[in-house]
Amino acid sequence: MGERLNQTDITGVLLAGGEGRRMGGADKGLQLLDGRPLVQWVLERLTPQVGQVLISANRNLERYREFGCPVIEDITPDFAGPLAGLQAAMARATTPLLLSAPCDSPYLPADLGLRLRAALDASGADLAVPRANARVHRAFCLTRRELLPRLDAFLAGGGRRLGLWHESLHTIEVDFDDQAAAFGNINSPADLDPMAQAVP
């Protein structure tokens, strides 16, 4: 069973630093799904796939620390989006690879890291992202920490979009058609109850 031998050189990044605009300004990661905060659901799926998890958050920091992981704030100001959270994690991490996941996708694949890592190793790419049913889920990515200077420059130049960042790199898309439902996410308060009944 060599499937999990290399997870210790991956740092997980749980992205919970957004403004929650579609959630009415609420801190999305702390919203309850079936009685538990979304961040807890994601941690349970992400933690076994990596050596350590960092939580990217910009408010309610003490509450996030209660989940037992280091909490990091954005370096780039003004809620610059998931890339700012990834930047802060890359600056903090000591592992060569980082696996990111948004706080609003509670059912992410249990083999996400394994499959992205296999594709990254085989291709020599900079970054690997999942694709399911022709949709690329860019907030989930396995990236090399050595790209930090390039990400710093991208953000300093005003770049914010994940797609544009990925296009600037050697990015490989990995087929997850068999688990498309696992990337379902919570966009608004109305999504919380229906999603509770849709566990893949």
pLDDT value at position 127? 98
Question: CA 73 → CA 88, 142, 149, distances in Å?
Answer: 7, 20, 18
- Please give the single-letter amino acid code of residue 31: Q
From first CA to last CA, the distance across the chain in angstroms is 25
Provide Rg for the chain, Cα atoms: 16
At the top level of CATH, the class of 8-194 is alpha beta
Confidence of residue 22 (pLDDT cuts 50, 70, 90): low
Domain ranges of the chain: 8-194
Q: Distance from CA of residue 153 to its chain's centroid? A: 21
Averaged pLDDT of the chain = 89
Among 130, 121, 120, which Cα is nearest to 162's? 130
Please name the residue that has the structure tokens 């933690």: 47
Q: Which two tokens stand for residue 107?
A: 């059912």
Residue 55's beta-bridge partner residues? Answer: 14, 71
Lowest mean pLDDT among 61-65, 99-103, 133-137, 191-195: 191-195
